[in-house]
Amino acid sequence: MSRRVVITGLGAVTPLGGDVPTTWQALLEGRSGAGPITRFDSTAFTVHFACEVKAFDPLQYMDRKDAKRLDAYSRYAMAASVQAMRDAGLEHGGFDENRFGVIIGSGIGGLQAFEDQHSQYLQRGPGKISPFFIPMFILDMAAGHVSMKYGLKGPNYAVVSACATSGHAIGDAMRIIQYGDADLMIAGGAEAAVTPMSVGGFASMQALSTRNESPETASRPFDAARDGFVIGEGSGSVVLEEREHALRRGARIYAEIVGYGATADAYHMTQPAPEGAGAQRSMRRALEDAGVRPEDVDYINAHGTSTPYNDRNESTAIKAVFGDHAYKLNVSSTKSATGHTLGASGAIEFIISTLAVNNGIVPPTINYSTPDPECDLNYTPNTPAHREVNLAISNSFGFGGHNVTLAVRKHSA
């Protein structure tokens, strides 16, 4: 029998707040993190808004020298990981460093560093490219810096699977603990892609909402008037721990992670497979891994991007997997409030799912006003739902056909 894995620490930096409690409260109040882009002059762009992280001070989590040498995505990852370590009561040690690992991914990595240094090259030549450029840019550096901060010498690597990235990171971390290769893992993802090339690229794909006159209502998953996602940024990190290890040290246990499903569409670069076939298999695999039935699920934190293809296909997939029960459970897309934080979204939404289980509250899908006949489930429109949440699943799907489902349930003996 594989070892049980519990969640003992949570940390996040999001467009709704600089930590988990602030983000959670904003979600329950139905606030939006969207607003005009401040990272660069968007005048020439078709999209002028995003869900940016606001008032972030990296010096709360690292010294000034490290802050200068890290891209924003790594700074966000470090902040979320420090929060998670503090929350788990592990910041000052008390663990075997050889049995503690880190998996933190990013969908895009240090894109701002790349854009800045490319400008330096064009304007001043190759001799002016920073010696810190490559370490700032590469995707594994967030995981590396977190491991160095705490001396964590267990498995350490990055995952990249577009918007499924941090779902994979958390699922892989669970497996590592289950198989006995570590007792503790920090897992999650980070993204800082509100940059000219990123916004311009997504806009060229016609993936972004162009509701420039009303940014706060632009992210509207499952709503008939949805017209694309709102790009966001931020990070989420969790401390996962082998259950007996957590009990021995008297740790607070938020919930237990019990299922991990990962599949591929093998269909198209950006569009989901018809009928959400890959998503169906991902959800079924997570339920099978958890040893539960579809009717045991109370809440689904949907991938719910506010794009026509994703929302329709995900709704179809949920109905295929859950049958009549699909209409009895609660679904919500918290991207309606946070925007789409790309490689960080899976971790942020896993944290939200964990809090839904822990608190018995389902956060809402905000901006839902016009039902779509093809999306006819209970999307928890606009106000939170107070209900017992014994088991929740969180979906994350990425460009390239990557699908991840994580299952989390109330902790019990």
Model pLDDT for residues 189-241, shown as the tens digit of each residue: 999 999 999 999 999 999 999 999 999 999 999 999 999 999 999 999 999 99
- Whether residue 253 lies inside any domain: the answer is no
**Number of Cα atoms under 13 Å in the Cβ half of residue 17:** 16
pLDDT at residue number 234? 98
pLDDT at residue number 71? 97
Lowest-confidence pick of 34-48, 97-111, 269-283, 369-383:
269-283
The pLDDT-based confidence of 24 (bands split at 50, 70, 90) is very high
* Same domain for 191 and 128: yes
R_g (Cα) of the chain, nearest Å: 20
Q: Residue 406: which of 276, 295, 257, 239 has the closest Cα? A: 257
Q: Is pLDDT of 395 > 80?
A: yes
Q: Is pLDDT of 1 > 80?
A: no
Q: Which two tokens stand for residue 17?
A: 């707040």
- Domain carrying residue 355: 259-409
Which stretches of 88-164 are DSSP H helices? 111-124, 133-137, 141-150
The pLDDT-based confidence of 269 (bands split at 50, 70, 90) is confident
The tally of domains found in the chain comes to: 2
User: How far from the centroid of its chain's Cα atoms is residue 378's Cα?
Assistant: 22
* Same domain for 267 and 230: no
Distance CA 188, CA 239 (A): 9
Q: Is pLDDT of 268 > 90?
A: no
Average pLDDT, the chain: 96
Distance CA 319, CA 108 (A): 32
Residue 99's CATH number: 3.40.47.10
Q: Which two tokens stand for residue 219?
A: 């992210």
Q: Is pLDDT of 270 > 80?
A: no
Q: Residue 222: which of 368, 352, 108, 351 has the closest Cα? A: 368
Catalytic annotation, residues: 163, 303, 340
Q: Tell me, yes or no, if the pTM score tops 0.95.
A: yes
* Same domain for 243 and 95: yes
pLDDT at residue number 413? 79
Model pLDDT for residues 123-174, shown as the tens digit of each residue: 999 999 999 999 999 999 999 999 999 999 999 999 999 999 999 999 999 9
* Same domain for 182 and 263: no
